[in-house]
Amino acid sequence: MTAGRAEVGLDANQQGQGRQDTAPVFTPDPATLAHLELILNGGYPLPGFMTSEEAASTIKHGRLPGGTPWPVPVTLPVPDTLADADQLVLADPEGAPLAELRVSERWWCDDGDRDDGHGHRLAGEVRFSRPPMYGVLRHLRMAPAEIRGQREIGGFADRPLLAVLAGRPLHHRSLHQIRAAAEEVAEDGRAEVLVIINTPLDDEGLTPAIIAAEPLLPPRTRFVVATLPTPACGDVHPSPAAPSGRAPGGTAPRLPTGRYDLLAAHVARAYGATHLLIDRAPRTPAPSDEDLEPAPIPILPAAEWCYDTRDELWRQADQVTADRAEIEPSDAEVEEMLARGRELPAWFTPARVAAELHRLRPARTRRGLTVFFTGLSGSGKSTVARGVAEGVRRAGRTVTLLDGDVVRRMLSAGLTFSREDRDLNIRRIGYVAAEITRHGGVAICAPIAPYAATRAQVRAMVEETGDFFLVHVATPLEVCEARDRKGLYAKARAGEIPEFTGVSDPYEEPADADLVLDTQHTTEGESVAEVLAALRAGGWLPDHN
Amino acid identity, residue 394?
R
Task: Provide the strand spans (E) within 18-96.
Answer: 25-27, 48-49, 76-78, 87-91
Q: Is 149 annotated as a binding residue?
A: no
**At residue 436, what are phi and psi to the nearest 5 degrees?**
-60, -45
Q: Is 154 annotated as a binding residue?
A: no
| Dist. CA 77–CA 120, nearest whole Å | 6
Q: Is 368 annotated as a binding residue?
A: no
Residue-by-residue DSSP string for 308-322: ETTTTEEEEGGGS-G
> What are the Cα distances from residue 445, in Å, to 111, 237, 427, 472, 515?
38, 35, 12, 12, 15
| Dist. CA 196–CA 185, nearest whole Å | 18
Q: Is 167 annotated as a binding residue?
A: no
Residue 226 pairs in a beta bridge with: 198
Q: Is 42 annotated as a binding residue?
A: no
Q: Is 174 annotated as a binding residue?
A: no
Contacts of 225 (CB under 8 A, 6+ apart): 137, 140, 141, 196, 197, 199, 207
Q: Is 129 annotated as a binding residue?
A: no
Q: Is 382 annotated as a binding residue?
A: yes
Query: How many residues appear in the chain?
Result: 545
Euclidean distance between the first and final Cα of the chain, in Å?
37
Interior angle at CA 450, CA 449 and CA 454, nearest 5? 65
| Dist. CA 48–CA 540, nearest whole Å | 47
| Dist. CA 200–CA 229, nearest whole Å | 9
Residues forming the annotated binding site? 375-382
Residues forming the annotated binding site for ATP? 375-382
